[in-house]
Amino acid sequence: MTTVPVSTYRLQLTADFRLQDAAALVDYIQALGADWVYLSPILRAEPGSTHGYDVVDHTTVDPERGGAEGLTALAEAAHAAGLGVLIDTVPNHMGVATPVENAWWWDLLQHGREAEHAAAFDVDWESGAGRIRIPILGDDEGDHSALDDLTIEDGELRYFENRLPIAPGTADDGATPREVHDRQHYELVNWRRADAELNYRRFFAVNTLAAIRVEDPAVFDGSHVEIGRWFDEKIADGIRVDHPDGLLDPGAYLDRLSERIGGAPIWVEKILEGEEDLPAEWATLGTTGYDALGDVDRVLVDPTGLPVLAELAGVELTRDAWDELVHTTKRGIADGILGSEVRRLARLVPEVDEAVDALAEILTAFPVYRSYLPLGDEYLDAALETAETRRPELAEAFAALAPRLRNPADPLAARFQQTSGMVMAKGVEDTAFYRYTALTSLTEVGGDPAETDISVAEFHHRQARRQAEWPSSMTTLSTHDTKRSEDVRARIDALSEVADRWAEHAVALHTSNGFPDRRLEQLVWQAAVGAWPIERERLHAYVEKAAREAGDSTTWTAPDEAFEVALHAAVDGLYDSRRANAALLDAVADVEAAGWTNSLVAKAVQLTMPGVPDVYQGSELWDRSLVDPDNRRPVDYAERRELLAKLDDGWLPPVAADGAAKLLVTSRLLRLRRSHPERYTEYTALAAEGAAAEHVLAFSRGGVVTIATRLSLRLAERGGWKNTNVVLPEGRYVEVLTGREISGGPVSVAALLEQYPVAVLTIADGDEHTEPATTTSGDEESPR
């Protein structure tokens, strides 16, 4: 087992796919070629949780997911097979939807500020007059108050299915349930009041996920009991940290975590914006890979088709247009569902007039998820400048807030840093991404859709930088959080190459179905094309979620029934209307082959580029999943085992609908990377020459060379590869997918890519000391 993995394979554990099931899958993962098994959260979560991020007990492996026995079985199987174990952890928050399941939260509700675990939660007691507000009450009706529905049963206060504790001595005198409620350390309030009046910190705007204060040493120790055991007993080998941006001091947390787990490798689920760098001081090997995902997608986008797509969606593909949309959506979040958090910041500066408005504007203008003072103060300066430009009438408030926001020791600065990421995530990832719909593959987690595409030279530059600065950072193409799987995005990327034809299909779809929201319409049609064939129920669920997230025509809190009826009718039309179905099938036919090409290329590039590649469960075959929970569906591993056995018997599959070609690419490149990690120690761009040179993406890792096709539909229009060559470093090579032997020097791309749209060459045995040639890509010098 390697100390740092050369690759990982992510598994989503549920009550239906437990740790014992994962243990039984280890032989397949090992045969596939992955180096470590990567597990979703396994601490005890809310009953029935399908994701595990709502932890209720830090001392126990979730019995629903297989318990401690299942974890032991998985670890023993993995280690016996030479595989490491990486486990996802959730330090920022706990699940509180069912208080009786969470002993810490139950204790807090029962005993208030005097509770043993009061320090674990971030509660502003003063703003609630000494009580914590719990937003679970329904609306009052006429003279009937929701509090009239309270009952007392078995020594607990009940509100329908909600069970709540009763403080000692507060229900012994025959008081009514409502009178008992009024004596508790909590106040039950209408669910609509959460946005403005909640007085405990949450995960984003999720009322049932209460943030915890791991900066308190006692809270850290209590919430890392089981995690520490995994490393003391050599069960786990590495950690993924979910949402470190929500922590008071992520750097200090990572230092403490690293010490507790004996210096084992740590990765952070962190979104970087633009040229933002991960703090080099952090005790982490890097991020979980969203930045790499964006690079791979964008080098496969044809910019010439984007104006047509933008016109269809009614959006402008410019930096200014994107920034303006983001300002609108972030400000809406700051004023709306995260209003409680903004007001809590304002309570720290009662001397500043208009503090709520000014703080909301600065949060809206913040260009990255957060700063880590004293690191990142330049982002605060930029936000203050932008805010004052937009709102000069608040200049006095900005000036009063600035020195406090710059001071790392100030509670205002600390809480502001925890809040800015929440506003960014909800305003951009969960709102703007659903409104900016010209080419929806660009609105992926961690992406910047104003950057619509990148050149081959820019791709090389970024990978050379990754190799130099973060060689063990993870790379990914699909995760449990991506809004579209890699194969869905691969097809959607190809729409940029046939934009005019797509426009014809989109018009036919519109006239067949009608659609009352122009921007959302493009998102729906593109999702259908990318995921087709997709079951009707899945597409219905996706478009309803997408529409409510966009928040233009309907919302989660106030659904527009008439709009949603029309929305679902349009989805049904894709299946039931002959004209709409024909237009959809024609659109799919236009990009299906290009989607296969893009998928194989993207996977090969990800598995050979710098970083530690992660393969998301099931994505070794075509996987056309949409946003969660669609991307957490069960995986058919029997099918994958059968196809892998056929490949190992020498079958070379066609690039076709069963996805076996992707399994070939995935297994061969994972195995190569695991068996020869020493061949991936550098990054050198390789030049292509000839008529179709711009359609080649080629690079050397030292002992492995990747040659891939980009923009395959445009390539076909131009007559194919013709005389295009790529110059290989001197030496003898074996093409990994087909087993052909190839010599270095100028090589015909058409010959290399005769069977598959990507070729990966590795130096032949005995030629390990071959030095790669230093070459250039295009007219630019290749970075190293």
pLDDT of residue 768: 57
- In this predicted structure, the answer to whether residue 782 has a pLDDT above a threshold of 50 is no
Determine the Cα–Cα distance for residues 244 and 737; give it in Å rounded to an integer: 39
DSSP 382-440: HHHHHHHHH-GGGHHHHHHHHHHHH-TTSHHHHHHHHHHHHHHIIIIITTGGGT--SSG
pLDDT at 97 over 70: yes
pLDDT-derived band at 482 (thresholds 50, 70, 90) equals: very high
Does position 512 have pLDDT exceeding 90, yes or no? no
Sheet containing 150-153: give its strands across. Answer: 150-153, 156-159, 162-164
pLDDT at 32: 98
pLDDT at 767: 64
* Each residue's pLDDT tens digit, 565-576: 999 999 999 999
pLDDT of residue 146: 94
Contact (Cβ atoms closer than 8 angstroms) between residue 78 and residue 67: no
Dihedral sign computed on CA atoms, order 197, 201, 206, 210: negative
The mean of the pLDDT values for the chain is 95
Residue among 155, 227, 300 nearest 603 (CA): 300
| pLDDT reading at 774 higher than 90 | no
Task: Please give the order of strands across the beta sheet that includes 202-203.
Answer: 93-95, 206-211, 202-203
Q: How far apart are CA 146 and CA 181, in angstroms?
A: 12
Tens digit of pLDDT for each residue in 714-738? 999 999 999 999 999 889 999 999 9
pLDDT digits (tens, 9 = 90+) for 313-346: 999 999 999 999 999 999 999 999 999 999 999 9
Number of Cβ atoms within 10 Å of the Cβ of 386: 18
Taken as a whole, the chain contains a residue count of 784
Give pLDDT tens digits for 146-182. 999 999 999 999 999 999 999 999 998 889 999 999 9
- Cα 572 to Cα 72, 176, 515, 538, 556, distances in angstroms: 47, 51, 12, 12, 22
What pLDDT is attached to residue 13? 98
The pLDDT value given to residue 582: 96
pLDDT at 511: 85
Whether pLDDT at 783 is above 50: no
Handedness of CA 4, 5, 8, 13 (dihedral sign): negative
Write down the pLDDT at residue 143.
82
Dig out the tokens for 198 from the structure.
């909640």
Mean local confidence (pLDDT), 639-643: 97
The DSSP line for 11-25 is E---SSS-HHHHHHH
Q: Is the confidence at residue 771, as pLDDT, over 50?
A: no
Q: Which two tokens stand for residue 10?
A: 């992510």
Angle at 350 between CA 348 and CA 354, to 5 degrees: 110
Q: State the pLDDT confidence band at 500, using cuts at 50, 70 and 90.
A: very high
**Interval 203-247: pLDDT, tens:** 999 999 999 999 999 999 999 999 999 999 999 999 999 999 999
For residue 442, what pLDDT is reported?
96
The per-residue pLDDT for 141 is: 86
- Tens-place pLDDT, residues 513-549: 777 788 999 999 999 999 999 999 999 999 999 999 9
The radius of gyration of the chain's CA atoms, rounded to the nearest angstrom, is 27
Instruction: Tell me if the pTM is above 0.75.
Output: yes
Give the pLDDT score at 778: 36
